[in-house]
Chain A
Amino acid sequence: VRRLRGLLVRLTGPLTRGRRDRELDAEIAAHLALHVEDNIRAGMSPDEARRAALIRFGALEAIKEEYRERGSLPVFDTLVRDARYAFRMMRKAPGFTVVAVAALALGISVNTTVFTAFEAIALRPLDVKDPGRLARIFRGSAADRFGAVSYADYLYYREHTSTLTDVAMLGFGMGLTASEVPAPAAAAPPRVAGVLGFHLPQLLEGSARPIGTLFVSGNYFPMLGTPPALGRLIAPTDDVAGAEPVVVLSGNFWQRHFHADAAVVGSTLHLDGIPFTIVGVTPPDYVATAQNVPDLWAPIAAKLRLGTTPAQLADPDVPAGWVYGRLGANATLRDVQADLDVLAARADRDRARAPRVPARAAGVTVTSGRTYAPPFGATEWSVTIATLVSVLLLLLIACTNVASLLLARAAVRRREIGVRLSLGASHGRLVQQLLTEAVLLALIAGAAGLALSTWMLRALIAAVSASLPEYWGTIALRTDPNLRVFAYTLGVSVLTGVAFGLAPALQACSGNLNRALKDDGGAGPGGTGRRRLLDAFVLAQVAACLLLLVSSALLLRSSAAALHADPGFETTRVLQLQTLDVSGRPGALARRAATTRHLVEDAATVPGVRVVARAMRGPLPSGAFPRAAVPGAGHVPFNRVSPDYFAALGIEIVRGRAFSRQEAGGGQRVAVISAALAARHFGGRDPLGARLALGDVSYQVVGVAADVRGLDFRRRDPAFVYLPLTQDDDASAILVRVDGDTAAARAALGMRIRRPDPDVPVLVGALDDMLGSDPRFVVSRIGGVLASLVAFFGLVMASLGVYGMVGYGVAQRTREIGIRMALGAPRRQVLRIVVGEGARPVATGLAVGLLASAAAARALSSLLFGVRPIDPVSFGGAAGVLAVTAALAIWLPARHATRVDPMIALRHE
């Protein structure tokens, strides 16, 4: 331990060196003075006394040196000296320093950005009290193990658990409308989502603005230890039936719409016409366990005032929200899992309901609630790892580029290094010195990269946030760099420095000393070793770059497949108007129906509009249709549509007919079924006129429609039932088929439509935009765009690398080329030699890259839709682009070589 202490003191030694030296001098002076006085007292003359004292003291400088060495660690001392020297070298070559730092900073910042995003999502603890003791509780279904929990189940778990001290619910949100909300203080920032190619449906001009509200149980905020920014938060007493209706504003909503006015607490806000008292404000960007910061927080019991009936709330089959629990003392997640397994089984049995899905799948899943995202599954990990690997590849390309630069510089510094070697510097010392320079470069780049990445992330999140409809809430992912991000960046930087510095450093110190001193600039053994190393760098760059290009091409082709995907219905000339879910309070449904009726009537008068149809659900987003049991065909999705629906979407009726208006108006039990269902259910029999049992009701089949694939690329099951939309049905979607451009029609529609009901928000979007905005395409498109950005940087840097390599080769061999030409070698031959030498590592790199890409494509296959992993277009295109770029990078310097004038080349030097 004492040794360690000594070591620590010595580590700080170099910093206090000057002061310590002066102190030692003073101490020695005092020592000598004391000794001289003693000697004089003993009878010596002053001169004699001084001489004796000095002799007795010993070799002054040797002792000082020993003292100095004791004072600090020699290794550390030289490190500081090396760093100082490195800084001097950097200042002497500012061009090199700037280029190297910029290339590395770019590579490091992309890495840091990806890591920070990953860290913020998967590792960073939530901003709540003791997040490590928080558990998430999911109720599984056949399709999804991580499903939401019903309110009844939540109450049951909360009452009976023995392992959790508290259980709270974050209920599903509701789009409400509010009066008394002032307009936003700042103009909406520009939307960039269009750049990424997805356009979310936006509010119709003049439509009511929905307010995003999250409903929480009364113990939710107390359990998370949320501090109010103003007033108080929702308390358990607010979350009982019949309690005074209260609401809490989010800090973001408060700042945006209320100018952060403290007087707002205590005032009244009408939500869907019901008065709520604002009791407090949460801190800005406070997201609790939600994904986005909502506009408002309200107690779950308030849903009862907003149209939800007690029976609906208590329905154990209706998922109501996300459940969190606080672990009791000594309880582990495993204990909670066991506890809730028993409770869930008992609750189901008590209610005597037959599980709709197999019991195993319907169980409860308990995971840690410490982080923003639940613990990653296989898919999340594979995406994360693929992303991290791709950005590391970019860094690798940057590294090899800087390494090539260093190699070229090593040639320049050969004489300096030779002199130092001949003066007795050990090889180890020199390698240490050169490595210090490299790591220092990387550290500077790392600092710049971290700053760049912090800025990039903030801009990215702001941009994405701004392109989401406002009532979706504010993205509040905390991405400020923390210790882990710092450590990652530092680690990556140091590794980078060693990676690009080691090979050139070792290379620089090898080779013949005499040659180095003579410095023929050239083709000695050191020269060929350097060439081999350069070739290896180019090979690695080309391979890594091809891998990036192929991956991004695959992702882009996959997202492009969405645009050309034929869902089986018309998407290019159809607008969808969607009235948002309003609460079921008395009259609301009627108002929504009235709004829909107005919209239909008005839309029909707009020039260019051909068909206006209505449906319970629009065709997009797909997969949201209700299902009902058909004997022998499982649960089949169905939709209620107006007779024009088929015409509006261009769905062909292959047999029989669509509904008539009379059938729709009269509520007759007729159905149109999809061809696939007809084939499956009726086999060879004629379906027309046959009866089809759907759930508890029997329908007469009047027509067969062509299959609509939708976006279900994986499970191709186009079985579908269309039922007539009756007067009583809640038709939320209006489909408008237009003749020309949807954008123009949309503008015309906005002009023509009468100002809709202020309480019914209406969204409008073109179907093909919505198709492209389907989450599965958005993922591959964003992935594709980001991957192509990375690949583009990779391509630029790799071509610079190739260019540098060939150019270096030509510059080194200027004399040789001159001799060849003087001896009569034709230009073509010179060109062939130079091009051949440059092309060899590129060709090998392409081959290696293709093999690596094939492996990567298989790993990516889960993200690809409509594209095979080994897609010839992606592979061929990427290889072609890279080959052409590389050819250009080779040809430019090669052409330069043929312009060498033999006379000048030979006279040079």
Chain B
Amino acid sequence: MSDRSEVWKGTLALMILKTLETLGPLHGYGVARRIEQTSGDRLNVNYGTLYPALLKLEQEGYVSSEWGVSDNNRRAKYYRLTRAGRRQVEKETRDWERTTAILAKFLAPGEGS
């Protein structure tokens, strides 16, 4: 459980950033739903864990937040990707691709034979 959550924390940041890049400014609930949908409901994690992650990203300057009104007239805090955040998405995507490529090579023979 704890191992999985570590991985989750590492990848969650990238998922949030990617979500905000694709969909534009979004509130926390929206980000959570989007991540869930994209993963095809395979990621079964509490929505609440999103908020500390969002706060960390904000402290590091990758996202900014401000209060706004949702489609159905509800006040909610909207998160928006900053310029630094955009750069970070690119960088992290590249890193991730490289990592998965390497991992894939490691895992391929065991699976194939």
Contacts and interface: CB of A to CB of B under 8 A. Distances in A.
Partners in one complex: yes
Interface of A: 2-3, 5-6, 9-10, 23-24, 26-28, 30-31, 33-35, 37-38, 56-60, 63, 66-67, 70-71
A35 B74 CA distance: 12
A848 to B, nearest CB: 54
19 contacts: A2-B60, A5-B60, A6-B59, A23-B77, A27-B76, A28-B51, A30-B74, A30-B75, A31-B32, A33-B74, A34-B70, A34-B72, A37-B72, A56-B47, A59-B48, A63-B49, A67-B52, A67-B55, A70-B59
B46 A35 contact: no
B27 interface: yes
B29 A70 contact: no
Interface string B41-81: 00000111101100110011110000000101011110000
B48 A57 contact: yes
A3 B60 contact: yes
Interface string B13-40: 0000000000000011110110000000
Contact of A30 (B27, B56, B61): B27
A480 to B, nearest CB: 39
B47 A57 contact: yes
Contacts of B47: 31, 35, 56-58
B46 A27 contact: no
B29 A58 contact: no
A26 B27 CA distance: 12
Contact of A5 (B51, B52, B61, B75): B61
Interface residue SS majority, chain A: helix
A31 B56 contact: no
B46 A34 contact: no
A28 B47 CA distance: 10
Contacts of B72: 34, 37
Contacts of B49: 58, 63, 66
A9 B60 CA distance: 9
Most A CB atoms within 10 A — which of B47, B56, B61?
B47
Given A5-B60, A67-B51, A31 B46 contact: no
Contacts of B62: 2
Contacts of B29: 30-31, 34-35
B26 to A, nearest CB: 11
A38 B71 CA distance: 12
A26 B60 CA distance: 22
B33 to A, nearest CB: 8
B70 A10 contact: no
B52 A34 contact: no
A2 B61 contact: yes
Nearest to A55: B46
A432 B47 CA distance: 37
A33 B76 CA distance: 10
Contact of B46 (A26, A37, A59): A59
Contacts of B28: 27, 31
Contact of A70 (B48, B56, B77): B56
Contacts of A5: 59-61
A30 B84 CA distance: 27
B77 A71 contact: no
A77 to B, nearest CB: 15
Interface in B73-105: 74-77, 84
Most B CB atoms within 10 A — which of A27, A37, A60?
A27
B60 A6 contact: yes
A37 B71 CA distance: 12
Contacts of A6: 56, 59-60
Contact of B76 (A34, A56, A71): A34
A61 to B, nearest CB: 10
A33 B27 CA distance: 12
Given A30-B29, A30-B76, A58 B46 contact: yes
A70 B46 CA distance: 18
A63 B77 contact: no
A882 to B, nearest CB: 59
Given A10-B59, A34-B74, 13 more contacts: A2-B84, A5-B59, A26-B77, A27-B76, A30-B27, A30-B29, A30-B70, A35-B47, A56-B46, A63-B52, A67-B52, A70-B56, A70-B59
B76 A70 contact: no
Contact of A9 (B30, B59, B70): B59
Contacts of A70: 52, 55-56, 59
Most A CB atoms within 10 A — which of B28, B52, B61?
B52
Contacts of B51: 24, 27-28, 63, 67
Nearest to A9: B59
Nearest to A10: B59
Contacts of B84: 2
| Nearest 8 CB-CB pairings of A with B | A58-B46, A58-B48, A63-B48, A6-B59, A30-B76, A2-B60, A34-B29, A31-B29
Contacts of B48: 28, 57-60, 63
A30 B59 contact: no
Nearest to A33: B74
Contacts of B56: 6, 70
Nearest to A62: B48
Nearest to A66: B52
Contacts of A37: 72
B22 to A, nearest CB: 19
A6 B33 CA distance: 27
A35 B48 CA distance: 12
Nearest to B70: A34
Contacts of B76: 27, 30-31, 34
A56 B49 CA distance: 11
Nearest to A5: B61
A240 B58 CA distance: 70
Contacts of A30: 27, 29, 70, 74-77
A599 to B, nearest CB: 84
Contacts of B70: 30, 34
